[in-house]
Every structure is written in structure tokens, then in C-alpha cells.
Structure 1
Amino acid sequence: MEPMAHVRPAQGARPRARDLGIVFGRGGTGPLDAITDVPGVRVGHATVRRPPDVHSGVTAVVPGDVAPHAPLPAGVFTGNGYGKLIGTTQVTELGALETPVLLTSTLSAFRVADALVGWMLEQPGCGEVRSLNPVVGECNDGFLSDIRARPVHEEHVRAALDGASGGPVAEGCVGAGTGTGALGFKAGIGTASRTPALAGRPYTAGVLVQANFGGTLRVLGRRVTPRSVGLTGGPAPAAETGSCMIVVATDAPVDARQLTRVARRAVFALARTGAAYSHGSGDYAIAFGTRPQAAPVADDELGPLFEAVLDAVEEAVLNSLLAATTTTGFGGRTLPALPADRLLDALNTPAL
């Protein structure tokens, strides 16, 4: 591989992939390179941190005014089902999303789902609602956080939902990514976007990941290990305790069946990053569209959208690593941050 021209990060700065000149694919991004580039999509975080034992939280992806009486087309794909994606069966059956998508810690998922139901019942137009389907995904943050404490409560859920906004999305050790790690490094929340053209018209596809999975990091095809970037320390989390939640949003005119195909590509993209897809890894993607009344494009026009999602997920995972900071947590266990300058050194070293 030829050495690449990269921009070195400023001292103390936590850069994103594109700040370093690391670009995945050929497609352009939205102005923020984030899931919030999709019109109407908002993101909120509530971080729960009580050092050294608790590093957890909740992240809310809020698509407009989604509600049981105003659902959005959606699809789900399970790469490996060792997890608790609450609400999966109804989304699969009906192809409809009725609530925001919330992400959190494994043992807090059920409390978060209950809080989401309470919040939804208070929203305009929901005064007569008698049934709704909360969608909550999770990753196991028990390597760094006292997961048995179940530290995420209703007030955190409401803070994430009420504080959700457009604009730049906080990444790394925030919200549901506060205690997660991936590919041997501290990880967390990451996001990216692309602007594919379908049937000759431009649209936006955005992704958000909660990265917490095992394997060996690959960047532009190069293996990157903690040792290769000069890091030493204790053992990383066992691959069996990993997971990755991926949320995909798009304003492209696609139906629920097509969104299920999009969700598949999101999970496939994890292979590019070096994911191990181990026995105990819960790898899920949920994809939703923001234009429920639009006539869907033909299936043979979907190629650019598929490619956009593959590239955006790969970038979002790396962003989650680059934004994260070294964290010492429960039991004194530590996950190191991926050092951007050493990553660039590793990428510019000629392959053997």
C-alpha cells in the first residue's frame, strides 16, 4: 500500500477519521457527516458516570414526530442474535417503527423500554394510545461498568429524549457508548453519513453505531492492534461479551422490505472493520426511512444506497474509536484509546 497523505491532529484533540485524511469509499458526506444530516433526525445522550465503578448511559435516536399513529417504514437485520433488541418482532412483522430508537447497557434495557413507553404516552396525539412498541437496543458494558447496578433510570431516558437535537453528534465515551469497547480499544458512539443518488436524485443516509465488539481492527485493509500502535496493558474484553448496535436513517424513498435489505448491509459492513462475529456478540441493525408516503424506488436503483451504508458504518466505527478516551473502570480494568498519530504511523508503514 502506498503511503497516504494525512493531517496530523492538533495536540490533545480527538479527531474524526476524515480529519486525518482517512476516507472510506467514493461518496460524499452530508455537512455534519452524521446521522443528523438526515432531515428531521435528532440525537440525544444521557451519560451516567460514577467513577470508578459506573460508566454507562443511554442514547436516543429520534426521527421527527414518530408515534404509533404516525409510524415510519423500518427494517431489522440480525447478524448474530445474542442480544436484547426490544421490539424486534413487531418491526419485522409490520415493517413499522412507532417510537424513537434507544440504546443502552444490557441489563438496563428493560428499564429504558419502560421509561420510553411512559414518555411516548405523554406525547401529543398519544392520549388515546393503548398499545405501542418501544424499540431499545443494548450492548454489554460490563467490562468497564458495574452492569449489575443497572444505573440507567427513567430520568436519564427522559433527559436523552428531551435533549435530542439536530446538529453535531457527540461521539466516543458518551451516552450508551460510555462504557463500551471494540476491537481491543476503548470505543463508544460513532456516526457518519453519505449522500447517494438514487434514480438520478440525491438523498442522505446516516448511521449511528454503539460499538462494543471483538476482533482485530482493520483500517483501509490494514490490521491495527494495540501492540502495533505501541500500547501495552491488561487483557481486552472477551470476544464473547461483545455486541454492536447500528441505527440507519435515510430520506430516500424506500419501503420496509427495502430497508431490511439496507439493514443487512449495515451489519455486513462490520466485517470490513475486523469484527469477529463471535458466539456471544449481538450484532443488529435497524434502518428506518423518513418519507413514509413516498413511492419506493425500484430495487435495481438501490446499489448506491447499499454502498453508502457500507462506507458510513465503516467510518462510524472508526469515529467511535478515535473519539473515545482511555477509561479505567470497574475492578480496575482499563481500555486504551486508539492514538490517532500512531494510527497514521501504522497506516503509513509499508506492508511486509
Structure 2
Amino acid sequence: MRKRVRELGLNIGNMKTGPANQITDVTGVKVGHVTLKHEMDLDTVVRTGVTAVLPHEGNPFFEKVPAASFVLNGYGKTTGLVQVEELGVLESPIMLTSTFHVGDIWQGTLDYMMEQAPEIGDTTSSLNIVVGECNDSYLHTVRANAIQKHHAGEAINMASKKVEEGAVGAGCGMMCYGYKGGIGTSSRVTEMENFTIGVLVLSNFGKRNELQLVRYQAPGFDESEVPDGSIMIIVATDAPMTSRQLKRLARRATFGLARTGSHIHNGSGDIVIAFSNGFTVSHQFSGAYVEPRNMIRDDHPLMNQLFQGAIEATEEAILNSLTMAETTSGRKGRKGEELPYHLFQLQ
């Protein structure tokens, strides 16, 4: 049975965590996975999947949430971030998958959302769908077209408050720091007002000699065969923050990435998407030309606690993605080895 970092006696940062120490500690947020793991034939090995992050329990198209993104290194194939940046809102689940299947999951999510809201594209506007990816081609045969459109709706329907971690969902075939990576999550609660910051990562980056907190163990494989990789970082909060403030929060999450040791390689896509469900933006036009909302002041000490929470939760989520991932076999006889716990340098 694999363990989270806190079960190994390692506490990251000094803020308190939410009850489950997961992104779903943010009220209304749910996460669902579809994991695809089988052999199609001797040369085709499927180790991939889909992960869905739901911003609240309602329909995100009709009740949008403020959102922003931050691209630390842009070697990635996302959809929807241009409109998120322009309008400052998220109106779909955030979908994560394998690089070659962004289009399939975009289409599948569109199909699902149109079933939920027949007005889309007919009596009202189009829909902006956010999909992010990492390259799982070291273990997974990406040319096999294993992921289909219907897997998007299945991942959304599987969403719950309990988040599976490690080699599950979109993380099934991912590598991190030369070990098996994938899905990890963590949360923090502010001392003031008890707002929650939750983070979920899809980790797929780095070489073994970069990883901090553990003793170096030489790999028994050629690390040059592993792509530079990427990471998708999803930051959620119930603090009432504007899209501009959420971009500031997203930037801070990358400090958590850096704390684990990442060098941000040339071919790495390091992308953060941050959203708040502290208030929603109605799709329906009320007729009023202003909409008053409460928001946190930038210069209030609470803002610094939110920044710190994003950093700490990101760092711990990445480590959880490593400690929870099990050894996974892959194509060409390759193996993603689980991180041995005895390598941790505990204080």
C-alpha cells in the first residue's frame, strides 16, 4: 500500500491542511478519473487516462467562476486558455489527458456539456472548454488512439470528493523525476477567515538528480529516452478572488514546483490554471451594467496567506504524486519505478 508524504513523517510547510488534504477540501470541487491500462497487442501498451476537475456542484456554463492561467514554460498543447485570459472566467470542467488526445477530450467534453445544456450553440453562446495535457509516451503507446470521446463524460460522471492519487486517470502513464509520477493533491487553510486553497497536479517532468528531499539513486534505464515532460497545476480556492488576483496566485504555485527541484527543461510544459468558486458569474444577462461583488483586498495580510498556501500545497501535491504512484510497466519493456521511501532524507 503506497503512502502520502505525511504518512511518511514529512510535513511540508507550516500552514494547516484541509480535512482530507486534497483539492476537494475546497467546497464544491470534485475530481473524477478514467484509467486505461491494458495491452492491445505485443507492441501496443495502453497506460493513459483522463482526469476531470469540477469547479463546483452546479453547471459551470451557467454559473461561471473567475479564473486565470500562468504559463511558466509553454511547451504544451492546451485548449481554452486564450478565452480564460480574455474574459477571466472558467465555464467548463478542467480536463487533463495525454498529449495526443486533447482533441478527443475537447470534443467529448463538448458533447457532454451540450447534453447538459441544449441552449449551447443554439439560443445562447458557444462554450469554452479547457483541456490540459502531459506526454505519457515513455510508457504509453500514444499512437494507439486508446482514449475516445466518451471517456471525457465518464471522467466527469465519476467525479467525487475523494481523490485517487498516483498512477490513475491522466496520470496512469506519467513519469516524474525519473520515477513513476501522475496525480497528486494537497490543500491548505488560511489562519484568517479559514479560506481553503487546494491543488491538484499532473506530474510528468524532471530527472532524478533534480529531485530534492531524497537521496540520489542512479536509474537503471536511459533517462534520455524519457521526454522532458510537463506539469499541469490546478489551483482552487473558495476565497473571493478576481481573475487578476488568481493569476497572481497561479504564479506563486510555480514556487512550489521549484521547491521540489525542477529545472524547467526546454521541452517542458509548465502550466497553472487557478480558479475561485468564492463567487460565480451568471451566464444570464441581468440587464444591469454593473455587478457588485466582494473581493479580497490585495494589501490585506490574508493575500499573503493565500500565496503561501498555493506554494505549500503545490509542493506537497507533487510529492504525493510520487509517493502514491505504484511501479508501472509500459511499452518496449520499460518500467516506471515507484519512488522508494527509504530514500527520503527526513529531518
> Normalization by structure 2: what TM-score?
0.89
The correspondence for 1:195, drawn from 169, 185, 189, is: 189
1:222 to 205, 213, 220: 213
Deviation sequence 1:221-250 (CA, Å, 0-9, x none) = 5353333xxxx5212365653000010110
2:19 aligned partner: 31
Q: Which moved more, 1:58-67 or 1:135-144?
A: 58-67
Equivalent runs, 1:204-223 vs 2, <5 Å: 204-216=196-208, 222-223=213-214
Contact 2:68–2:246, Cα closer than 8 Å, also in 1: yes
Residue 236 (str. 1) matches residue 236 (str. 2)? no
- Alpha-carbon distance in 2 for matches of 1:236, 1:334: 12
- Aligned to 1:201, the other structure's residue is in SS state coil
Task: Please say if 1:274 is aligned against 2:261.
Answer: yes
Residue number in structure 2 paired with 1:297: 296
Alignment partner of 1:252: what SS?
coil
Corresponding position: 1:164 with 2:159: yes
Q: Percent identity?
A: 44
How far off is 1:151 after superposition?
1.3
Pairing 1:261–2:222 present: no
2:178 aligned with 1:177: no
- Taking the aligned partners of 2:164 and 2:118, their CA distance within structure 1 comes to 30
Unaligned runs of at least 5 residues, structure 1:
1-12
1:312 Cα deviation (Å)? 0.4
1:326 aligned partner, one-letter code:
T
1:192/1:311 CA distance change after superposition, 3 Å:
same
1:82 maps onto 2:75 in alignment: yes
| Letter of the 1:61 counterpart | V
- Please identify, of 144-153 and 290-299, the stretch whose mean Cα deviation from structure 2 is larger: 290-299
Counterparts of 1:239 and 1:144, CA distance in 2: 9
Structure 1: how far apart are the matches of 2:68 and 2:154? Answer: 27
**Alignment partner, residue 145 of structure 1:** 140
1:247 to 205, 213, 234: 234
Output the CA distance in 2 between the equivalents of 1:31 and 1:290.
18
Superposed CA offset, 1:17-53 (max 9, x none): 1111111111001111000000000000000111371
Deviates more, 1:317-326 or 1:260-269: 260-269
d(CA) in 2 for partners of 1:36, 1:330: 33
The alignment partner of 2:71 has SS state of: strand
**Contact 1:45-1:58 within 8 A present in 2 as well:** yes
CA contact (8 A) 2:65 2:89 kept: yes
Tell me how large the CA RMSD over aligned residues is: 1.8
Q: Which residue of 2 aligns with 1:5?
A: none
How much does 1:184 deviate?
Answer: 1.1
Q: Quick one: distance in 1 between partners of 2:224 and 2:134? A: 13
The whole-number CA distance in structure 2 between the counterparts of 1:116 and 1:124 is 12
Q: Using the alignment, how far apart are the partners of 1:112 and 1:244 within structure 2? A: 18
The alpha carbon displacement at 1:67 in A equals: 2.7
Q: Distance in 2 between matches of 1:46 and 1:38?
A: 22
- Cα pair 1:246 1:285 within 8 Å, conserved: yes
Q: Which of 103, 107, 112 is the aligned partner of 1:114?
A: 107
Does the 8 Å contact 2:32/2:160 carry over to 1? yes
Which secondary structure does the structure 2 equivalent of 1:118 belong to? helix
Give distance in 1, aligned partners of 2:10 and 2:171: 22
Corresponding position: 1:16 with 2:38? no
Equivalent runs, 1:310-321 vs 2, <5 Å: 310-321=311-322
State the AA in 1 paired with 2:163: V
Instruction: State the number of aligned residues.
Output: 326
Deviations 1:198-235 (CA, angstroms, capped at 9, x unpaired): xx31100100000001144667x5353333xxxx5212
Aligned 8 A contact 1:42 1:164 in 2 = yes
1:134 & 1:320 partners in 2: Cα distance?
A: 25
Residue pair 1:144, 1:334 contacting (<8 A) in 2 also: yes
Q: What secondary structure does 2:233 align onto?
A: strand
CA-to-aligned-CA distance 1:157-200 (integer Å, 9 cap, x gap): 1111111111x210001000000011110011000000013xx3
* C-alpha distance in 2 between matches for 1:217 and 1:210: 20
Code of the residue aligned with 1:343 in structure 2: it is: L
Q: Secondary structure at the match of 2:265?
A: coil
Rate the CA distance shift 1:306–1:237 in 2: closer, same or farther, 3 A: farther
Q: Contact 1:79–1:267 (CA<8 Å) still a contact in 2? A: yes
The letter for the 1-side match of 2:308 is E
CA offset at residue 66 of structure 1? 4.1
Equivalent AA in structure 2 for residue 285 of structure 1: V
The match for 1:92 is: 85
Partner amino acid, structure 1, of 2:156:
L
Q: Is the 8 A contact 1:176 1:188 kept in 2?
A: yes
Render the CA deviation track for 1:103-132: whole Å, top value 9, x for unaligned. 000001111001111111111574544401
